[in-house]
Structure 1
Amino acid sequence: MRKLSLSLVLVFTVLFSATGFAAEPVKTLPGDITLAQAQTILAAALKKAEEIKIPMNIAIVDAGGNLKAFYRQEDAFIGSIDISIKKAVTARYFNMPTRALAAASQVGQPLYGIEVSNDGLIIFAGGVPLVDKNNVIIGAIGVSGGSIDEDESVAMAGAAVIK
């Protein structure tokens, strides 16, 4: 059994070395947000939050809905940390602003109750998909700390710089 294990390790090592898997890992998948893009978006959103003088939590997720960047301004609500992240994730999972999802999830609407799926979603304004210049969704931004209109304005300011 030990010889078989060592043989398999040797085969996989040779195979991956020959195909280049071991030499050059993929840095970013096509259609995924880069760290540089996330930082640019974060800076634009932060600037808007400072302009309106509302302390915000700003979260950016990648194309898979994974947290890529986050910023909590001084005095931003601690409870809004989770909300900002979930707004971003929700916008990415459904490829629409959370305000639009909220309208479709009201009593009598086709997505009623969707907020309890996916380990909990946030369905009020402040989550916006991030669409690049090629019209590809590369992630999403979620903002929380002010009113839903203030949150959404900060998210939109961040999203605007990626186009």
Structure 2
Amino acid sequence: MQYSIKAILILALWVVTQIGFAESDSLYSSRSLSLELASKAVDGAIKACRKKGYSVAVAVVDRGGNVTALLRDRFAGPHTIETAIRKAWTANSFRQSTSVLAGLLKEGRIPDQVQHNPGALLVGGGLVITAQGETLGGIGVSGAPPGSSERDSIDGACAEAGLEAIWEDLELAD
């Protein structure tokens, strides 16, 4: 029995669709923060720290860890820029706040090597940015003195204020 190439291709295509490979599983859509929303989060965090008397740097990274928005208040130290970026990157990369990660490291619940991951910084002040169950990036704040523990860092409270500034926008986003 002689089969045409067209018939073989049709049969092959049918088989592939039956096992799920021809479906659009290879393409995904995702949401990302606009520059305006990232800037609004940065502004909210800086204003919260100013009210507490601290000059800080704030960074927002996208889901890929790329810096989307970054500001350094006039009296924040020169180290705060890199530190804010690393906190935002770490929270986004590990999908966990940096203060929780620091606590897990201290308790020995995550491997010591995690803190040596290039770019990672496990100190309070970095939070994950999520909306409707999807990770959109991270926010990091640096420049305020630490609180009484990693879990109540002033940087972390200011990062939280940055998220609060965009919360409604995130929850209403389609």
Flag whether TM exceeds 0.5 (same fold): yes
CA displacement at 1:152 relative to structure 2? 0.6
Letter in 2 for 1:79: H
| Aligned mates of 2:77, 2:124 — CA distance in 1 | 17
| Aligned mates of 1:120, 1:65 — CA distance in 2 | 10
Equivalent pair of 1:104/1:112 in contact (CA under 8 Å): no
Q: Hey, which bits of structure 1, 4+ residues long, moved more than 6 A? A: none
Alignment gaps of 5+ in structure 2: 1-28, 147-152, 168-174
| Aligned mates of 1:129, 1:107 — CA distance in 2 | 21
**Identity over aligned pairs, percent:** 29
Equivalent pair of 1:60/1:140 in contact (CA under 8 Å): yes
| Aligned mates of 1:121, 1:81 — CA distance in 2 | 14
User: Which residue of 121, 136, 139 corresponds with 2:137?
Assistant: 139
SS in structure 2 at match of 1:100: helix
| Aligned mates of 2:115, 2:133 — CA distance in 1 | 27
Could you say which residue in structure 2 is the equivalent of 1:130? Answer: 129
Higher Cα Rg: structure 1 or 2? 2
Written as runs of structure 1 = structure 2, the 5 A alignment for 1:4-83 is 30-83=30-83
Alignment gaps of 5+ in structure 1: 1-28
The TM-score normalised by the length of structure 2 is 0.72
Cα RMSD for the two superposed structures = 1.4
Matched residues, number: 133
SS in structure 2 at match of 1:124: coil
| Residues 42-75 of structure 1: CA deviation (Å, up to 9, x unaligned) | 1211210221110001001011110000000011
Equivalent pair of 2:84/2:141 in contact (CA under 8 Å): yes
